[in-house]
Structure 1
């Protein structure tokens, strides 16, 4: 979080929705998953003014693998549209790693081990 008087820039991660029948590229179970959104926002007195760097991720319920999905599909699901996620929409964030042992950096979107306080890719503070 970065403050300038009453203004600030903050990273946020938000769980959007539980999904059914997501075809995992790792476990091939298609058991479903969770849609996660990460973004940066500028705020005035803790009221968000505008957002940028929005990214959407799916976490497989079966094995915990983490995948980035296209932004337009993530926004559509968040609006409530009936959008299917295919095997080809899932881009692995880090092969072989699971979400349970990792956090997602809100600044660069990379998966970072849960015990890291700062992102090793961009240097942004992850935990307070």
Structure 2
């Protein structure tokens, strides 16, 4: 038997750690930044069963620019390893800090879910992303 609300797919953003001396490409201050993990997960009764599409980002604490970092380095940071992030590891993302929250991707105006920046339609409600 299938009950609506028991199973689901969601997108989540989670702050992993604050790193010092991140060489920001925008402000070049090296003040540090937050490491953010963005991922999709399938849940059963709100317990995540498996995840996919994991991406790691760093948000500069000086200018709030958001950069994607390599997934292998992001996973190692999440495990607690001391990893050096270089200028060349930072890939600029077009979206950034908005209304007191960091944003990676677009937000659907209809349901409010965060979707990838290249999506034209929301995978959750089907509305067009504007």
The CA distance in 1 between the partners of 2:73 and 2:80, in whole Å, is 11
Partners of 1:39 and 1:115 lie apart in 2 by: 17
Structure 2: state its 5+ residue gaps: 125-130
Deviant stretches of 4+, over 3 Å? 114-121
In the other structure, the counterpart of 1:99 is 97
Alpha carbons 1:26, 1:65 under 8 Å: kept: yes
Aligned length: 114
SS state at 1:88 partner: helix
Alignment of 1:28-43 (within 5 A): 28-43=28-43
Partner residue of 1:6?
A: 6
Q: CA deviation at 1:115?
A: 9.3
* Aligned-partner Cα distance in 1 for 2:31–2:98: 17
- In 2, the alpha carbon distance for the partners of 1:90 and 1:33 equals 12
**Does residue 79 of the first structure (1) align with residue 75 of the second (2)?**
no
Shift of residue 5, structure 1, vs aligned partner: 5.0
1:63-92, CA deviations, whole angstroms, 9 ceiling, x for partnerless residues? 000100000000000000010000000000
| TM-score of the aligned structures, taking structure 1 as reference length | 0.79
